[in-house]
C-alpha cells in the first residue's frame, strides 16, 4: 500500500515534468528562438519571482489553507524596502526591513487563522486589502525608484554565469524542499493538511505550525519583493496585483492538492516553469494577448481536472 502510494506520487510528478518537456519540445520545433541558452536563462529569470512566491504558497496549500495576500504583501514589503533605501539606510538594514515586513504580515495571517479561527480565505482576503492600502498610504500612491547598483545586483547580476534570480530561486527551492520533506515542520504541514483533527489528537501543536506556515509564505513574498524591486529599479505600491493567482496556479499545476495533505516542492517548481515557458513561448510566437490569457486559463483548468481525476482513481 505504502509503496504504491510512493509510485503514484512519483508518477504524478513525472507527468507534470513530461508536460513541461513536451511543451519545450513543441516550442523548439515551432520557433528557432526558443531553444537558445540566452532564452532559457531568460525564461528561468522570468519564472523566478512567481516561483519563489509559489514555494510559500505550496506550504500553505499543503496545510489545507490558502494565502490571497501574497501579492499585496509583496507590494508593502517592496515599498518599505524602497523607502528605507531611498532614506539612506544601509543595504543590509533595508533588505532586512523588507523581509521582516513580509514575515510579520505572514505571521499576522497565521495569528488570524490559527488563533482567531478565521477561515484562511477570509483572513488573507482581508489582509490583501489591508496591506495594499498601507502600501498606497505609505507611498501616497507613487512609486519609489532609483536604487544603487549593489542592490540591483540581486536581480541583474550573475554568479559563475548563472543569473542571481535563478540562483536564488534554486536556493529557495532547495531549502523549502528540504524543510518540507525532511523536518518536523514539513511532516506536520502534511499532517495538518491531511487531517487537522487527527494531527491535533496525536499531539501536534497545530496552531504553532500553522503560524509557521503562513510566516514562511509572508517571508517568501518579502523576498520576492526584494527581487522585483531590484529587477524593475522601482518599488510600486500597485505591484503584485493578482500574483496570488499565478502562485496558486503554479502550485496546483505542480500537483499540490487544494484539499491539502499532498504536494511536492519540485512539482511547484515545474508548475511555475510551465507557466513561464508558456508565456515566453506565446510571446515568441506572437500569439495575441487575448488568446494567451485563454490558453493559460485552460492549462490551469486541465491541471486541476487531472489532479481531481487522479485522486478519485487512487482512492
Partner 1 sequence: MRNRLFLSACAFLLLVGLWAGCSRSEPAASSSPTVALVMKTLNNPFFVDMERGAKDAAQRLGVTLLVQAAEREVDVERQMQIIENLIERKVNALCIAPSGSKEIVPAIVKANRAGIPVLIVDTRVDSKALANASGRTAAFIGSDNVEGGRIAGRYLVERLQHKGKVAILEGIPGHETGDARLRGFREVVDREPGIQVVVSQTANWERDQGYNVFQNLLQSHPDLSGVFACNDLMALGAVEAIAAAQKTGRVLVVGFDATGDARDAIRKGTMAGSVAQHPEEMGRLAVENALALIRQQTILNEIPVTVELITNNKR
Residues at the interface with partner 1 (CB under 8 A): 8, 11-12, 14-16, 18-19, 22-23, 26-27, 30-31, 33, 36, 38-39, 42, 45-46, 49, 140-143, 145-146, 156, 228, 231-234, 236, 238-239, 241-242, 278-293, 295, 298-299, 302, 306, 309-310, 313
Least distance to partner 1, CB of residue 60, Å? 22
Looking at beta carbons only, is 63 or 257 nearer to partner 1? 257
Looking at beta carbons only, is 193 or 255 nearer to partner 1? 255
The gap from C-alpha 25 to its chain's centroid, in whole angstroms, comes to 25
Nearest to 233 by CA among 141, 144, 167: 144
Distance CA 170, CA 269 (A): 9
Least distance to partner 1, CB of residue 286, Å? 4
Task: Answer yes or no: are the C-beta atoms of 231 and 165 closer than 8 Å.
Answer: yes
Quick one: three-class SS letters along 161-172?
A: CEEHHHHHHHHH
Looking at beta carbons only, is 114 or 274 nearer to partner 1? 274
Looking at beta carbons only, is 41 or 125 nearer to partner 1? 41
Q: What torsion do the CA atoms of 283, 289, 294, 297 make, to the nearest 10 degrees?
A: 60
Least distance to partner 1, CB of residue 34, Å? 8
Least distance to partner 1, CB of residue 196, Å? 28
Least distance to partner 1, CB of residue 258, Å? 18
Distance CA 269, CA 134 (A): 31
Q: Where are the alpha helices (DSSP H) in the chain?
A: 2-30, 37-62, 70-86, 91-110, 120-139, 149-156, 164-182, 184-194, 196-201, 206-232, 243-253, 265-284, 289-314
Looking at beta carbons only, is 123 or 299 nearer to partner 1? 299
Looking at beta carbons only, is 56 or 186 nearer to partner 1? 56
Least distance to partner 1, CB of residue 130, Å? 18
Amino acid at each position: 500500500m505504502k509503496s504504491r502510494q510512493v509510485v503514484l506520487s512519483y508518477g504524478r510528478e513525472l507527468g507534470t515534468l513530461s508536460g513541461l518537456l513536451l511543451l519545450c519540445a513543441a516550442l523548439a520545433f515551432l520557433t528557432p528562438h526558443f531553444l537558445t541558452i540566452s532564452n532559457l536563462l531568460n525564461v528561468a529569470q522570468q519564472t523566478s519571482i512567481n516561483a519563489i512566491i509559489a514555494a510559500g504558497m505550496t506550504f500553505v496549500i499543503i496545510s489545507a489553507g490558502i494565502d490571497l495576500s501574497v501579492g499585496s504583501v509583496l507590494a508593502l514589503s517592496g515599498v518599505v524596502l524602497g523607502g528605507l533605501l531611498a532614506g539612506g539606510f544601509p543595504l543590509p538594514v533595508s533588505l532586512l526591513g523588507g523581509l521582516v515586513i513580509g514575515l510579520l504580515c505572514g505571521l499576522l495571517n497565521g495569528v488570524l487563522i490559527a488563533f482567531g479561527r478565521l477561515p484562511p480565505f477570509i483572513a488573507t482576503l482581508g489582509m490583501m486589502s489591508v496591506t495594499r492600502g498601507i502600501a498606497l498610504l505609505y507611498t501616497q500612491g507613487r512609486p519609489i525608484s532609483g536604487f544603487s547598483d549593489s542592490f540591483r545586483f540581486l536581480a541583474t547580476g550573475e554568479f559563475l554565469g548563472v543569473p542571481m534570480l535563478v540562483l536564488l530561486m534554486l536556493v529557495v527551492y532547495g531549502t523549502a524542499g528540504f524543510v518540507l520533506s525532511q523536518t518536523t515542520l514539513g511532516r506536520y504541514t502534511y499532517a495538518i493538511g491531511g487531517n487537522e483533527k487527527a494531527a491535533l489528537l496525536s499531539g501536534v501543536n497545530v496552531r504553532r505550525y500553522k503560524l509557521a506556515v503562513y510566516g514562511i509564505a509572508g517571508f517568501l513574498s518579502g523576498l520576492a519583493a526584494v527581487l522585483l524591486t531590484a529587477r524593475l529599479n522601482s518599488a510600486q505600491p500597485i505591484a503584485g496585483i493578482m500574483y496570488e493567482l499565478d502562485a496558486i496556479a503554479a502550485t496546483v499545476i505542480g500537483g499540490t492538492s487544494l484539499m491539502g495533505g499532498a504536494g511536492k516542492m519540485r512539482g511547484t517548481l515545474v508548475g511555475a516553469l510551465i507557466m513561464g515557458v508558456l508565456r515566453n513561448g506565446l510571446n515568441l510566437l506572437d500569439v495575441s494577448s487575448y488568446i494567451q490569457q485563454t490558453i493559460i486559463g485552460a492549462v490551469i483548468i486541465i491541471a486541476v481536472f487531472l489532479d481531481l481525476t487522479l485522486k478519485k482513481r487512487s482512492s
